Structure 1
């Protein structure tokens, strides 16, 4: 790498993004519950588990789902933890192993109250318990969309493993097409619907689809900018938009960053324009649509904040890098970033992938399906403790989207 490419400038992609950082007030409580649950599976050795915990995927969920009830925040936290367990178990493996993980996970999600086979990889039981806890509390539409989108996500993970083994570098358009599935945004967006009942004709409307895809592309950009240093240091950066852009344009890192910055601005304009064009379907549906659109917009902010606040990408230096926006690519990950040795960078999953034969199967979660389900519309928002940042209610989502329309016109032109 040339001297001019020794540093990565991370552009301020959300300077004009009108949705502020917001944290679910149940963050600390649910984090403790979800973390204890995941650690009970002993999916990683103690050292690797400590590295996993430092990433604080519960923070990501709590930033991404600030409107969620305590019950549904638990679903979000468990999902984020499941996502990254899958990531750790497939990121260094071949297509065959990734396909096996995908098959086991989907079977568990489709049969959450069926005991898992003895000796199966532990991901099966993690996925089963996660979804068994969730199913009784959600709408049929959100259930269906989650299963569909999670299956698509896992199949894309298999394709990524194939690309990685062949060192295949895609074109920008091919990469974005695949990455929209394997970044995990679509099932994450399905969590926004857990207490909503949005018809298919609403979710398939062109304006909703445009808002969804542009939000996903902004997540891709944010994730790839922040993860590039780690991936580059371990020689696994072929599945990153920075490498893709450098390869397609035949230019250096600076040119790729400039292109990404410009593309991100066009995505922002596209998103703001799309939500302005969303039609009315009546008050009941419009209120739910407003909450969903707020969720999409907030996810973009949440991912950006978590990328710097957790230790996932920059270790202890995330807050500092969030300010000066420059990352040194020459010093090697993770010693100078996380102040740890190389073994912690990628959890040592070898030997921990399969359940111990003597481990006793606990059985499905005992869920009383006759208990009233605490849907969002019945949840007493006024009783929640206040976070240091604002905690919007469903009505404030509607109000925010309405007031935004007064200045989106000039903002789109920026």
Structure 2
């Protein structure tokens, strides 16, 4: 019986991406404020707090919302930090518990007068107040609906983990779009840029081609980058790498290579659809699709700037693309 692999090589996504990365000039001030806001609730044990700080969620926002003004940028930092709270809590819950956590998040986001006096509800309500100040009605409704879908998928993810089940590829792709919260974060682009797109825009075929190609690109590239971290924590079921290895009967390296080729196709699809968006949709549709492209390139850049995925070797991994798999953490370490 062959030994499991000790290393694998990442696909060269950065060199293949023609989109231009940038960072937000308000990063340092807004990031410090947002981090202090979350930490003021003292919701993390020491290890979780270290994971939160080292992950530098706000730096991700700096790359993907590089065009945001100060208030809008601070709000995006708050939301990504709020998602971190929901994600970290639900990762250690069973299906019933994760759905209950998600429902607190949804209720506090959707209803003005809802409050169960939990810390999660309070954090969510404070974010919601910021968001509603500038968001248009279509964006608010779209955001609330996606919050509900996101939490349902997070609950299902917990159920699958509880029963050690892995979805097939066809079912996993739409599931991953939602439980990754990427579509939620795309909706924040409307808030940041000052758009309020109508539903008809999202129903346009070419718009949807670009929209979902961008989303899948972020999900697939993120999954191959985060695979080592997740396998070290015993949480690989919700990852396209695992899905591909199981469904296609391929090795870890072959799955990584497959993702590289698939991401290249997604990038081409996004760029092609971006040039074909109908003028009848208006300039705002093109503006939105251009802006979500920052998520595609920004997530790549951010992944190698922190220790979140590759630990202290993140700069070496960026240069060599070789990932040495870490041993699984003991339960007492989590």
Q: TM-score range by the shorter chain?
A: over 0.9
The question of whether the paired residues in 2 share the 8 Å contact of 1:333 and 1:342 is answered with: no
How far apart, CA to CA, are the structure 1 residues paired with 2:40 and 2:252?
43
Instruction: Give the equivalent residue in structure 2 for 1:299.
Output: 295
Instruction: Give the equivalent residue in structure 2 for 1:159.
Output: 156
Which string of whole-angstrom CA distances, capped at 9 and with x for unpartnered residues, describes residues 283-313 of structure 1?
Answer: xx31x22321122111011111111112211
Once the two structures are TM-superposed, the CA of residue 83 in structure 1 deviates from its matched residue by 0.9
Q: 1:46 to 1:168 in 2, by over 3 A?
A: closer
Instruction: Give the equivalent residue in structure 1 for 2:274.
Output: 275
Runs of 4+ in 1 over 3 A off after TM superposition: 1-4, 341-344
How far apart, CA to CA, are the structure 2 residues paired with 1:34 and 1:187?
19
Once the two structures are TM-superposed, the CA of residue 47 in structure 1 deviates from its matched residue by 4.4
How far apart, CA to CA, are the structure 2 residues paired with 1:317 and 1:83?
26
How far apart, CA to CA, are the structure 2 residues paired with 1:15 and 1:99?
40
Instruction: Give the equivalent residue in structure 2 for 1:70.
Output: 70
Check if 1:318 corresponds to 2:317: no
> Who wins on radius of gyration, i.e. which is larger?
1
The question of whether the paired residues in 1 share the 8 Å contact of 2:107 and 2:114 is answered with: no
Give structure 2 stretches of 5+ with no counterpart: none
Give structure 1 stretches of 5+ with no counterpart: 335-340, 347-414
Once the two structures are TM-superposed, the CA of residue 45 in structure 1 deviates from its matched residue by 2.7
Instruction: Give the equivalent residue in structure 2 for 1:134.
Output: 131
Which string of whole-angstrom CA distances, capped at 9 and with x for unpartnered residues, describes residues 171-214 of structure 1?
Answer: 11111121011110111011000111222212221111111111
Instruction: Give the equivalent residue in structure 2 for 1:243.
Output: 242
Q: Secondary structure at the match of 2:41?
A: coil
The question of whether the paired residues in 2 share the 8 Å contact of 1:233 and 1:333 is answered with: yes
Once the two structures are TM-superposed, the CA of residue 93 in structure 1 deviates from its matched residue by 1.0
Matches within 5 A, 1:225-264: 225-264=224-263
Give the alignment's TM-score, normalised by structure 2.
0.94
Instruction: Give the equivalent residue in structure 2 for 1:85.
Output: 85
Q: Considering only aligned residues, what root-mean-square deviation do their CA atoms show, in Å?
A: 1.9
Once the two structures are TM-superposed, the CA of residue 62 in structure 1 deviates from its matched residue by 1.3
Instruction: Give the equivalent residue in structure 2 for 1:15.
Output: 15
Once the two structures are TM-superposed, the CA of residue 251 in structure 1 deviates from its matched residue by 2.1
Once the two structures are TM-superposed, the CA of residue 46 in structure 1 deviates from its matched residue by 4.0
How far apart, CA to CA, are the structure 1 residues paired with 2:263 and 2:52?
30
Q: 1:333 to 1:326 in 2, by over 3 A?
A: farther
Instruction: Indicate the structure with greater helix content.
Output: 2
Check if 1:219 corresponds to 2:214: no
Give the alignment's TM-score, normalised by structure 1.
0.76
How far apart, CA to CA, are the structure 2 residues paired with 1:4 and 1:111?
49
